[in-house]
Structure 1
Amino acid sequence: MEESKSKKRIDEIIDVIMKVAAGDYTAQVKITQEFDYMDALGIGINMMVDDIRTSFNMKLENERISLLNEQLQIAKAKAEESDRLKSAFLANMSHEIRTPMNGIMGFAELLKDPFLTGEQQHEYIKIIEKSGVRMLNIINDIIDISKIEAGLMNVTLTTICINEQMEYIFAFFKPEVDVKGLHLSFKNPLPTSKSMIITDQEKFYAILINLVKNAIKYTESGSIEFGYTVNQPNYPTELIFYVTDTGIGIQSDRQAVIFERFIQADVENKRAIQGAGLGLAITKAYVEMLGGKIWLESDPDSHREGKGSTFYFTLPYNVETPPVKGEREIMSKSKDKAEKKKSLKVLIVEDDETSEILMTLMIRNFSREVLTAKTGAEAVEKCKQNPDIDLILMDIRLPVMDGYEATRLIRQFNEKVVIIAQTAYGLVGDKELSIAAGCNAHLSKPIDKEELDQVIQHYFKD
């Protein structure tokens, strides 16, 4: 009996040892309190298991700490690199904004010279306009990348004709490449009837514009070609677009990061001619939002002329969804091509004097009388005093009372007057807020005169 009991306890001890060997450091030998040699052995084994468990836990903790330190070092390196790139980006942004601003301010000062010829005045005005467009592009890039990072960039699907877009982009850039002495060409492998896809027209257009513009910027001689191919001609599911050039090429160490935000802002990059360094990051984000992917091929030896780069991106080839008409398309159909002059009584609500003067000049072909107000409260009073006002151009950010509140109050006693919101914010949701407040339409500053004309003509058709 005693022998059987001892054998059972030995088996229990062996079982504990096997569990520990298998990695179970919680196993323990049961102590019978008889304080014999078997209990002594069990206590010794339990102490050994406790030591092993403690050692193992310390090892795990050390490994965890080591991993955390490694992750912290990686995060620190990324943060430092991000700070470096952002600092370089801000330095470059300062240059990019100051340069066109210098052109605007400088040539505006030169225009004051009373002895300028008409030709000189025209040349200076063109330079000011070009500088303004350049600065606006930089600001738009910053706004776009902010929307993308915040997840606020929306996709608006509509049916577009790829071939028409290709022809338009070719016509748009042809004068520029001719001046530079480059050859520009494009290829449309599909007939027009089969080149219809469902996508976001503005983003598709922006993608190609960015890629072709970059190709022109970095190509001093040779040619640029853009177009698309069908991945499987018999059962096409995807279109592969490309823009290829014979420019300076992109070195291999930059190819892996060329689509990253701020990477172009590296001031050590001697070839980074102009730009905020956000164009390709925005392009990549747009491609991915439309369900595609983007990559590039380039000869890393930038000293060999004529090798250049080729950027590729894909988009789904799917035309099963019925077309969705965008606001711009609807608006363009309503445009009165004759552009007949109107006789409107207009209220301009604007607290900035320069913007007020600009809006007055922009609508002079439509207005017979122009009233002004500098606050929302003043605008409400002017509308009460002048119930025959036809059109209100309402700035949103105003002192005392903002444009939203002013519009809501005006709608309480005048439902017919056309109110066009105008704002410098240009953020997602601004248009919806304006419409919800009672505005008929919404325009973002800087106001495009042609777009303003179209909106006015849409609401005041004969």
Structure 2
Amino acid sequence: MSNFNKKLFKRLKLNHAYGQLIALIFVPIMILACVGTALVLSETSAAAKSKQRFQAIAILSRYQYTAEQLTAVMEKSPLQHTKAENILQKIFNEKHLLSAAILDGNNVNHLSVGYQNQREWPKIPKTGTFFGPIHNKYNNIYGIKLNPINNAQNMWLVIELDNQPLEISHYRVMIVLITTALLTLLLLLLCLNFYSRRWIAPMYEIRMQLQRLNADTLDQHMVINSTGELRLLQRDIANVVKRLHFSFLELKEHTEQTEDDLRRTLDTLEVQNITYKQARDQAISSNQAKSVFLANISHELRTPLNSIDGFIHLMLRQDNLSNDQSLYLQTIRKSSAHLLALINDVLDFSKIDAGKLELETAPFDLEEAIFDVMDMLSPLAAQKHIEMAFYFADNVPKHVIGDALRFKQVLTNLISNAIKFTPDGEIIVRARMEHDDIGQCLLHFSVQDSGIGLSGTDRKKLFESFSQGDASVTRQFGGTGLGLAISKQLVHLMHGQIGFEDNQERAPTEKGSTFWFTAMLTTNENEEIIHPSFRDLNVVSFLAHPATANVLRHYLENYQVQHTEAQSILDLFSRLNSLEKNIENTWLIVDHSGDTEALLKEIRGRYQGHLAVYGYQMSLDPNMLNEYMARPLYQPLSRSSVIQLLSNKPIFEQEQHKDFKGQDLHILAVDDHLPNLIVLEALLGELNVKTTKAQSGQEALTIIQQAVEQGSKPFDLIFMDIQMPVMSGIDTTRAIRSLESTLDGMRMPIIALTAHALADEKQKLLKVGMDDYVTKPIQIEQIIQILTNWTSDKFIQHQTPVENTIYIEAFDTDILDWKQSLALAANKEDLAQDLLKMLVDSFPTELDEISQLIELEDFPQLEHVLHRLYGATRYVGTPKLQRVTGDFEQFISTLRKERRKADEAFIQDVMQRLDDLQLVIHEVETAAQQILVN
């Protein structure tokens, strides 16, 4: 097929205008032509047949009488048959007549003439007087009934007419119709050709030129031979293309301009990036310089503070101090501690700002930690006559795992702020459970005060750095303004939030504010709180502070104590009059308010039983209490103090003083600040430890070298200052380690004495060869801990009660490392035992759950249980169990990530690991029995 025919074929499709035009014209015309032809042929055929019928009727009518006569003659004389036939021959004078016959009712031919006169005629109808046409192959037959003469039988005159005139008429009409159709088709083709040239061809050309348009041909003119509306359309399209061309030129120009601007912008950005990079490098350098400055200023400040604190400690241990001298020394010590707190605030803020502060994770007693903070700050509250109370909800876990130091820091800041901004009234600390999950809980802590409150302006900048609300507050109350900013960051590190509420918004009659924070802490879900029972005791109390009275009431309800509360002094005296004077199972608790001595005198006149006075330690006169045989119950009220009171135990159990004595223990102290050396030597002297001083790194290195050359015994431990002139502590440590490498088996523990309090300092010191880290100012407790940890083979503790020592038979420390357990429990034996007992008690439940989950093939939950058990092992010294549990958990985790099928081989592997776990657990249980029994 040629391209022209293909294009023509495509143009004839109905989705093209040309094809649609042909369809619109030809289809109706063809339908009309077919219908008209059918109608014309039908009508002309009917007219010809009608004309033939009328002709037949006319012929039969004319010859009916003749035929009747001939019938009568033939009946009378059959010999007249030939004559009758001749007479009937006259009927052929009629046109288109082929034959004629006279038939009776039985279709018997009596007389016939014409073509095939002996033929078999069609069956004549029994009824009617006329029939026809009856069609045969070529002709039509008509008949008329003859009237009988002389009762003769019925006879019919039948004629046969030729159909050729009908066919000729039909063909003539067909010829006329075909001629008319051909002429019409020719006319239509001429019209289509004209229409195609005028409409279709220009439209096709327009479409082709539009398809050829591109960015380069928009300016070319459309040359198309068109007229009428198409010419107008062509002109409009040309105008649109022209506008597009102008728009394209404008866009191209704008794009070029934009590219040029972008190129210039990129050049500017590149220059700015270089500038920003330089500024960033400069900022990093400045930040590093700031860190170095903080380290240096910390050292420079802590060094004299260390001397001040050390000498004050030594002076306070003297027995010949007057009251004024003791007061002066206490004032100096408080000022030194306050200055150290300010330094710590600045350093903590710097550590948080640098992102170098990391929280420790260790078990601690939550209730004891909160009470320690309140007890530490109670003297400040007592000076301002502020009542303090502490609510600890029953569902809050007592033992948790977290950073006790940072938790206390946040709480100390909030409580000290409450004391600072409360002229009088009360401060209530609350601890409650907000959300509990497996192994973790979100705890809510609040500090409510009745102080000066906060204005709307102060609230917006409350947690900003160096802010204390009103600018005059800093001068009025003191402080750096960093406390809340640091607390906010610490709370965020604890995965909690911090905020405050205005008490007046909760109740219009209240004043002050409530600061709160939340903290996510790890718990032991198997921990059970068991309250002691004192159901045989009876307590009568009169406490003026409602919050403290509520706390005492709650404690006594838990301890099943029969409790009676007096509403006033007169009510108290009335209840005392009804009591026996000497009753052993009754305690009377009264508040320290007003004239306490007069109150006690009045009470002792009515009551001689157990008596306790509630108040701040510094407000209670021990001599007065001894005179009236009363025990102190110190504010704030704690659970342990109430238990101690009801148990009638001594208030201050005689401490088992630790008389540390070094057996051939020799310490080298290195510090360029002589007062620090004197303090350190004095503290070590109290522990009966021999000390050698060195005021520089070179001197220390010389002393060690001389000791090595003389073959004398090396030092058992070295306290090393970090920042020293000429040769720093780090350089000295490197030199000592280098010297030790030339000697066989010699390695002296080196403890860093530094004020460098930044987060990465400890790791840096450990990397250069130091063994531990102590921040100035150093306390004697820290020295004892250091000497215990690093010279345990020579340093012994005398007069240790036998009943408080845990003796352990020799077993594999990979199974149970009791030293590690103590270290994880902050060297508290009771806490370490509790943690070990909790772990051992959880073994049966954990093993049953693990076995069930393996049987159910619930591996996601199995991974969770193993992770929980692994987490518990991290707080007890069970290295092997921790390792086996961690490997088991990792194995299940890998299975889930790889989506392996739990086939038979895999199940066998899991069961083998379960057997290993059970074996290790049995070993831990066996080893733990020695400790838990003791």
TM-score by length of 1: 0.72
Name the SS of the counterpart of 1:401 in structure 2.
coil
Name the SS of the counterpart of 2:511 in structure 1.
coil
Pair 1:129 & 2:333 matched: yes
TM-superposed deviation, 1:175? 3.0
Q: Distance in 2 between matches of 1:321 and 1:429?
A: 34
The correspondence for 1:383, drawn from 701, 704, 726, is 704
Name the SS of the counterpart of 1:275 in structure 2.
coil
- String of CA shifts for 1:156-214, please: whole Å, max 9, x gaps: 1122332222222232223331221011001111267x333332111111111111111
Q: Which runs of 5+ in 2 are unaligned?
A: 1-200, 224-237, 263-300, 316-320, 528-654, 798-934
Q: Distance in 1 between matches of 2:212 and 2:777?
A: 85
Pair 1:43 & 2:278 matched: no
Partner of 1:21: none
- Structure 1 pair 259/415, CA: closer, same or farther in 2 (3 Å)? farther
Pair 1:172 & 2:172 matched: no
Name the SS of the counterpart of 1:292 in structure 2.
coil
Pair 1:397 & 2:397 matched: no
Q: Distance in 1 between matches of 2:517 and 2:445?
A: 5
The correspondence for 2:680, drawn from 356, 359, 372, is 359
- Structure 1 pair 372/137, CA: closer, same or farther in 2 (3 Å)? same
TM-superposed deviation, 1:337? 4.3
Aligned pair count reads 385
Name the SS of the counterpart of 1:461 in structure 2.
strand
The correspondence for 1:409, drawn from 735, 739, 744, is 735
Partner of 2:217: 31
Q: Distance in 2 between matches of 1:439 and 1:336?
A: 33
Aligned amino acid, residue 718 of structure 2: I
CA RMSD of aligned residues (A): 3.9
The correspondence for 1:162, drawn from 366, 376, 396, is 366
Pair 1:338 & 2:542 matched: no
TM-superposed deviation, 1:143? 0.8
Partner of 2:796: 461
Q: Is the 8 A contact 2:418 2:449 kept in 1?
A: yes
The correspondence for 1:424, drawn from 750, 755, 759, is 755
Pair 1:448 & 2:768 matched: no
The correspondence for 2:410, drawn from 207, 231, 235, is 207
TM-superposed deviation, 1:32? 4.8
Name the SS of the counterpart of 1:159 in structure 2.
strand
Judge which range, 141-150 or 49-58, deviates more.
49-58
What does residue range 140-155 of structure 1 map to in structure 2 within 5 Å? 140-155=344-359
Q: Distance in 2 between matches of 1:376 and 1:351?
A: 8
Aligned amino acid, residue 44 of structure 1: F
Name the SS of the counterpart of 1:297 in structure 2.
strand
Aligned amino acid, residue 207 of structure 1: V
What does residue range 99-138 of structure 1 map to in structure 2 within 5 Å? 118-138=322-342
- Structure 1 pair 271/173, CA: closer, same or farther in 2 (3 Å)? same
Q: Is the 8 A contact 1:12 1:29 kept in 2?
A: no
The correspondence for 2:449, drawn from 234, 237, 245, is 245
Aligned amino acid, residue 400 of structure 2: I
Aligned amino acid, residue 736 of structure 2: I
Q: Is the 8 A contact 1:248 1:305 kept in 2?
A: no
Q: Is the 8 A contact 2:503 2:510 kept in 1?
A: no
- Structure 1 pair 455/321, CA: closer, same or farther in 2 (3 Å)? farther
Partner of 2:500: 296
Q: Distance in 2 between matches of 1:163 and 1:189?
A: 10
Q: Is the 8 A contact 1:156 1:200 kept in 2?
A: yes
Q: Is the 8 A contact 2:669 2:719 kept in 1?
A: yes
Q: Is the 8 A contact 1:158 1:199 kept in 2?
A: yes
Name the SS of the counterpart of 1:264 in structure 2.
coil
Select the structure of larger CA radius of gyration. Answer: 2
Q: Distance in 1 between matches of 2:689 and 2:441?
A: 56
The correspondence for 1:275, drawn from 464, 468, 479, is 479
Name the SS of the counterpart of 1:380 in structure 2.
helix
Q: Is the 8 A contact 2:433 2:443 kept in 1?
A: yes
Q: Which protein has greater RCO, CA pairs closer than 8 Å, 6+ apart?
A: 1
Aligned amino acid, residue 215 of structure 1: A
Partner of 1:3: 203
Aligned amino acid, residue 4 of structure 1: Y
What does residue range 214-229 of structure 1 map to in structure 2 within 5 Å? 214-229=417-432
TM-superposed deviation, 1:306? 5.0
Q: Is the 8 A contact 1:252 1:300 kept in 2?
A: no
Aligned amino acid, residue 340 of structure 1: F
Q: Distance in 2 between matches of 1:233 and 1:424?
A: 40
Aligned amino acid, residue 442 of structure 1: Y
Judge which range, 407-416 or 150-159, deviates more.
407-416
The correspondence for 1:373, drawn from 685, 690, 694, is 694
TM-score by length of 2: 0.37
Name the SS of the counterpart of 1:358 in structure 2.
helix
What does residue range 85-100 of structure 1 map to in structure 2 within 5 Å? none
Q: Is the 8 A contact 2:503 2:514 kept in 1?
A: no
Judge which range, 144-153 or 311-320, deviates more.
311-320
Q: Distance in 2 between matches of 1:141 and 1:120?
A: 31
Q: Is the 8 A contact 1:246 1:308 kept in 2?
A: yes
Q: Distance in 2 between matches of 1:141 and 1:425?
A: 14
Q: Is the 8 A contact 2:661 2:689 kept in 1?
A: no
Partner of 1:25: none
Partner of 2:668: 347
TM-superposed deviation, 1:223? 0.3
Q: Distance in 1 between matches of 2:501 and 2:259?
A: 50
What does residue range 184-203 of structure 1 map to in structure 2 within 5 Å? 184-190=388-394, 194-203=397-406
Q: Distance in 2 between matches of 1:382 and 1:410?
A: 11
Q: Is the 8 A contact 2:659 2:687 kept in 1?
A: no
Q: What percentage of aligned pairs have identical amino acids?
A: 27
Q: Is the 8 A contact 1:419 1:441 kept in 2?
A: yes
Q: Which runs of 5+ in 1 are unaligned?
A: 14-27, 61-96, 112-116, 324-334
Q: Is the 8 A contact 1:156 1:199 kept in 2?
A: yes
TM-superposed deviation, 1:7? 4.8
Q: Distance in 2 between matches of 1:202 and 1:282?
A: 13
Aligned amino acid, residue 120 of structure 1: D
TM-superposed deviation, 1:5? 3.5
- String of CA shifts for 1:82-119, please: whole Å, max 9, x gaps: xxxxxxxxxxxxxxx9xxx9xx9xxx9xx9xxxxx833
Pair 1:261 & 2:596 matched: no
Q: Distance in 2 between matches of 1:399 and 1:321?
A: 54
Q: Is the 8 A contact 1:250 1:300 kept in 2?
A: no
Q: Is the 8 A contact 2:660 2:688 kept in 1?
A: no
- Structure 1 pair 308/8, CA: closer, same or farther in 2 (3 Å)? farther
Q: Is the 8 A contact 2:719 2:753 kept in 1?
A: yes
Q: Is the 8 A contact 1:189 1:229 kept in 2?
A: yes
Q: Distance in 2 between matches of 1:372 and 1:231?
A: 55
Aligned amino acid, residue 351 of structure 2: K
Q: Distance in 1 between matches of 2:347 and 2:525?
A: 30
What does residue range 227-238 of structure 1 map to in structure 2 within 5 Å? 227-231=430-434, 237-238=441-442
